[in-house]
Amino acid sequence: MSERDALWHGTTILCVRKGNKVVLAGDGQVSMGQTIVKSNARKVRRLGDGSVIAGFAGATADAMTLFERLEAKLEQYQGQLTRAAVELAKDWRTDRYLRRLEAMMAVADKQASLILSGTGDVLEPEDGLIGIGSGGSFALAAARALIDIDGIDAEAVARRSMAIAAGICVYTNTKVTLESLDV
């Protein structure tokens, strides 16, 4: 894997929708190749009026640009996340500048959880779980195993799943940031 690929995939973002909550979790590790540069980065945040939570995997500056663009689309489309995400994905895929951005996003509001990519994808998983980044598949597998256990809420599923991913993926750590919404 090239250094560019390591930067592209070096993080873990997990979205869990269970019961009356949707939780977005992100690890804090920032890596450049094989070096850990920072351990407490915030890759998950609230957007707009706080009704949308978003996380990114990929180049930080690119993700900040995409967060700003998504916020503008949310404002333009009165907080309609799915519509704003589709319009952002169109721009991302076709705009000469944006299509060079290297990041993926997981976004959620009360109604939907979505994956956005630079290839124009806006995907809504049928099970309400999203995992992106290098540790995303590990966290996603753990979340799928834990989601149906009674007595474990969305936040507990997210925390346990992120801990499992951190134990497997060298680009993921245990310093997790969580944002949640009541649904």
10-54 per-position pLDDT tens digit: 789 999 999 999 999 999 998 888 888 899 999 999 998 999 999
Q: Where are the domains of the chain?
A: 3-175
Q: Is 11 a catalytic residue?
A: yes
The catalytic position among 11, 12, 172, 177 is: 11
Q: What pLDDT is attached to residue 49?
A: 93
Q: What pLDDT is attached to residue 152?
A: 97
Query: What is the DSSP track for 136-168?
Result: HHHHHHHHHHHTT-TT--HHHHHHHHHHHHHHH
Per-residue pLDDT at 7 exceeds 60: no
CA 148 to chain centre: 22
Cross-strand pairs, 55? 44, 106
Q: What pLDDT is attached to residue 77?
A: 96
Per-residue pLDDT of 43-88, as tens digits, reads 999 998 999 999 998 878 788 888 999 999 999 999 999 999 999 9
Question: Rounded CA gap, 123 and 114, in Å?
Answer: 5
Q: What pLDDT is attached to residue 2?
A: 42
Which pTM does this prediction carry? 0.92
Eight-state DSSP code of residue 71: H
Q: How confident is the model at residue 102 (pLDDT cuts 50, 70, 90)?
A: confident
CATH 3.40.50.2020 at 3-175, yes or no: no
Q: How confident is the model at residue 171 (pLDDT cuts 50, 70, 90)?
A: very high
